[in-house]
Structure 1
Amino acid sequence: MIDGVKLKKIQKHCDDRGFFAELVRDDEPELLNRFGQASWSMTYPGVIKAFHYHEKQDDLWFFPSGNAQVVLYDLRKDSSTHGQTDVYYMGDENPIMLLIPVGVAHGYRVLGNIPATIIYFTTSSYHAANPDEKRISYDDPTINFCWDTQYR
């Protein structure tokens, strides 16, 4: 696992009415050391949204519906996992929270035939005039990630 990335499995409490689950709590500073903003987005099947990274903020991602292949790449030159790529499968089939630290490039591809919804929390609010978001192409040769489904 890339240094600084953290994973939290979501505990669902189910009964005859449905379910309830906690995503992030104020007594979990290991997940989000500061609250900046909560955001919600939907992406259509097959779409790839990659890559970008932040210089000041951490992201905490959760996919409450649909499924996504999430790819992380450690850009931090001083990290013990510099240059490492990690892949996570998140969504309906695997409800987890994923903390993505500063300097780790991240992106995702929606899997299956339904849109994926992402809810994410950041340690800083978005500023349109000066966004903390650096873009890298989804097919960047340094990251060299193959987004094709691997038929095994």
Structure 2
Amino acid sequence: MSATSAIDGVKVIPLRQIVDERGKIMHMLKATDPHFISFGEIYFSTAWPGAVKAWHIHTYMTVNNAVLSGRAKLVMYDIREASPTKGALMEVFLGEDNHVLVQIPPGIANGYKAYGDKQVILANAATHPHDPDEMQRMPPFTDQIPYDWSLRHG
């Protein structure tokens, strides 16, 4: 499937920013949002330009990602056996040019690559506290996921 195909259960939600001459407020997630599930923890992942942080596969946790600073290409690959979109790839470019929340359900391999000229700060509001036994990791360049992290032209 194409890298722009939607994946069942993944949501991309535009977020509000309130900007004035002092700076801005960047919304991410609140308990009254219709897509809010539960709160486990929030943490921040950073990456230098060109760095790839992938692949992560959660078994029961839903993650909610938004970029606070910089630019990231978030890539998802549906490996769920019973999913109608099994084998689908999806890319979302998020950050300073596209302030969105990407909600990723369990069973989706996901990771991101920082691009641009500064460090990325990605926030994750997860539905459960971190548990190292809850997540499977795969190297970013595994042949089990048909994705090329190199820069694409045209």
* Shared fold per TM-score greater than 0.5: yes
Matching of residues 33-112 of structure 1 within 5 Å:
33-112=37-116
**Partner residue, 2:142:** 140
Q: By how many angstroms is 1:4 displaced?
A: 0.5
Superimposed CA distance per residue, residues 25-48 of structure 1 (whole angstroms, 9 cap, x where no aligned partner): 111242x31110010121111111
Superimposed CA distance per residue, residues 103-126 of structure 1 (whole angstroms, 9 cap, x where no aligned partner): 001001110121100111111101
Scaled by the length of structure 2, the TM-score of the pair is: 0.91
Scaled by the length of structure 1, the TM-score of the pair is: 0.92
What root-mean-square deviation, in Å, do the aligned CA atoms of Structure 1 and Structure 2 show? 1.2
Superimposed CA distance per residue, residues 17-73 of structure 1 (whole angstroms, 9 cap, x where no aligned partner): 22223211111242x311100101211111111101110100000111010111000
Q: By how many angstroms is 1:16 displaced?
A: 2.5
Structure 2 residue runs without a partner (length 5+): 1-5
SS of residue in 2 equivalent to 1:73 = strand
User: Matched residue pairs, number?
Assistant: 149
Distance 2:71 2:24 in 1: 19
Deviates more, 1:104-113 or 1:12-21: 12-21
SS of residue in 2 equivalent to 1:139 = coil
SS of residue in 1 equivalent to 2:75 = strand
Percent identical residues: 28
